Structure 1
Amino acid sequence: MDLLRCIIVDDEEGAHRVLEHFIGQVRYLEMAGSFYTALDAMEYIYQNNIDLVFLDINMPGLSGLEMLGAMSSRPFVVLTTAYKEYALESYQYDVVDYLVKPFDFKRFLSSVDKVMNRMGTKQIAPQESITTDYLVLKVDGAMLKLKFEQILYTQSYGNYVKFFTADGMRLSQITTAEVENKLNPKYFVRIHKSYIVAIKEVSTVSGGEAILFNGTRLPVGNLYRKTLLDSL
């Protein structure tokens, strides 16, 4: 069996000691690096072959989830955190498991077993090809899973984005650039600095407007017009 090259990313010394001890007891795990900031870990991952990351969420600077959101291709990830409330949000990044501190060796082994099972799947379908069909958004203090198929269009609103669906509007603190990166470009296109639209919802493009099947009229920026027309 090939060794799984692991790294630890956590800002707490105690967490490093526990994970290093656990990793050292599993003969098919190899400790490849230990980092206290997400940026240092990302740089190392880009330059080295890493199979598995044990990643904390709350860290100074770039958080663990922000790190995952910034990476288009990632190793397998097991999140290690003292906070339960990020569990739903974390799974949009296809994490293998979510360990709540403090966890014991048995729970650690359960996560490693899930990684090994996923490794078998990776031989058939690379992890980077796996995509989600939903967004996880913070709306009114709660986490909401919003399926792509529900979204008609989005609109920038200061530091927030409005998500318009057939049954109403949801407001979430996120940027349009972040939304654009998360949505599948096969089904969504940016038509203005403030608007992204579901391609299937566009009925007509006339002048500087996109008219949706429900009658909504959205502005189309000159920079985005050709991309919109090509996508139809």
Structure 2
Amino acid sequence: MIRCLAVDDEAYAVKIIADYIQKIPFLELVGTTTSAIEALTCVQQGGIDLVFLDIQMPDLTGIQFLKLCGSKCKVILTTAYPEYALEGYEHDVIDYLLKPIAFDRFLKAAQKAFNILQPASIPMPPVLNTAPTVTEQAATAEYMFIKGESKNKFLRVEYDDILYIEGLKNYVSVFTPQQRLVTYQTLRDLELQLPQPPFYRVHKSYIISVDKIRMVDGNTVYIQDIAIPIGETYRDGFLRMIRNE
């Protein structure tokens, strides 16, 4: 087993990395932290084989972390900034993952880590999706936190208040009866955090709360007076769901 630590100053990003680690049988999640200094302390104490590390963090950047930890562990960088790739590889990182990170790309990086950290005689175990996902964990909660407009600000949003969510590239807008909240995150990443039901993706750009549907008319679903298109890719599954088929 490869003992892993997930490090990112954004809580939702740590949750995604932790969920990915738990899906891969040759990785063991030892801990998560939003503090690079705390992560460095853990590494220096020993027992960490691999760190999934964000670059842009307060107090101590990912590059500074690499210089300080030396050869005590291997590192896979996770970041939204491609310009640090060359410097990262100069510090012998295993891989460089650009956010938003798809699971198949994460798995490829994990396999590279396995080949480096495990003896060649040990076969790589198959990847089985048996660990609880972020979505399954979210089903037991009644709210989530989304990143606010400043770096360390997080807003609590009750699931029951959400009408629908609209995505635009790396931003999403969460609509409630009282307000619209905009956060830097992909719709796919947010979808992984939401309990299903009541949330359902009906379009490449929209997730809705089924509990808030007023009417479905052809290829359009109405929430309050808002008309939301149903994408062709999602139509059949959505109609089966509302028909209880």
Partner of 1:186: 197
For 1:71 and 1:102, locate their aligned partners in 2 and report how far apart those are by CA, in whole Å.
21
Deviations 1:165-190 (A, max 9, x none): 01110001111111211111121111
Residue 208 of structure 2 is aligned with which of 189, 197, 205?
197
For 1:179 and 1:56, locate their aligned partners in 2 and report how far apart those are by CA, in whole Å.
19
Shift of 1:211: 1.1
Whether 1:146 aligns to 2:157 is yes
Residue 185 of structure 2 is aligned with which of 174, 178, 184?
174
Partner of 2:31: 78
The 3 A distance-change label for structure 1 pair 68 and 209 is same
SS in structure 2 opposite 1:224?
helix
Partner of 2:237: 227
Counterparts of 1:60-209 in structure 2, within 5 Å, are 64-71=14-21, 77-80=30-33, 82=35, 128=132, 130-131=137-138, 132-141=141-150, 142-209=153-220
TM-score by length of 2: 0.49
Partner of 2:120: none
Partner of 2:73: none
Query: 2:148–2:154: 8 Å Cα contact kept in structure 1?
Result: yes
Gaps of at least 5 residues in structure 2 are 43-130
Whether 1:57 aligns to 2:22 is no
Deviations 1:99-140 (A, max 9, x none): 68758xxxxxxxxxxxxxxxxxxxxxxx94644332221121
Shift of 1:207: 1.9
Partner of 1:17: none
Partner of 2:222: 211
For 1:80 and 1:217, locate their aligned partners in 2 and report how far apart those are by CA, in whole Å.
41
Query: 1:160–1:175: 8 Å Cα contact kept in structure 2?
Result: yes
Query: 1:189–1:227: 8 Å Cα contact kept in structure 2?
Result: no
TM-score by length of 1: 0.51
Shift of 1:191: 0.9
Shift of 1:225: 1.7
2:20 partner letter: A
Query: 1:187–1:199: 8 Å Cα contact kept in structure 2?
Result: yes
For 1:56 and 1:76, locate their aligned partners in 2 and report how far apart those are by CA, in whole Å.
8
Counterparts of 1:25-36 in structure 2, within 5 Å, are 33-34=2-3
For 1:80 and 1:158, locate their aligned partners in 2 and report how far apart those are by CA, in whole Å.
27
Aligned residues: 142
For 2:203 and 2:34, locate their aligned partners in 1 and report how far apart those are by CA, in whole Å.
38
1:78 partner letter: G
Shift of 1:198: 0.2
The CA RMSD measured in Å over matched residues stands at 3.2
Shift of 1:79: 3.0
For 1:81 and 1:159, locate their aligned partners in 2 and report how far apart those are by CA, in whole Å.
21
For 2:211 and 2:23, locate their aligned partners in 1 and report how far apart those are by CA, in whole Å.
28
Identity over aligned pairs, percent: 23
For 1:146 and 1:166, locate their aligned partners in 2 and report how far apart those are by CA, in whole Å.
12
Partner of 2:62: none
For 1:192 and 1:154, locate their aligned partners in 2 and report how far apart those are by CA, in whole Å.
11
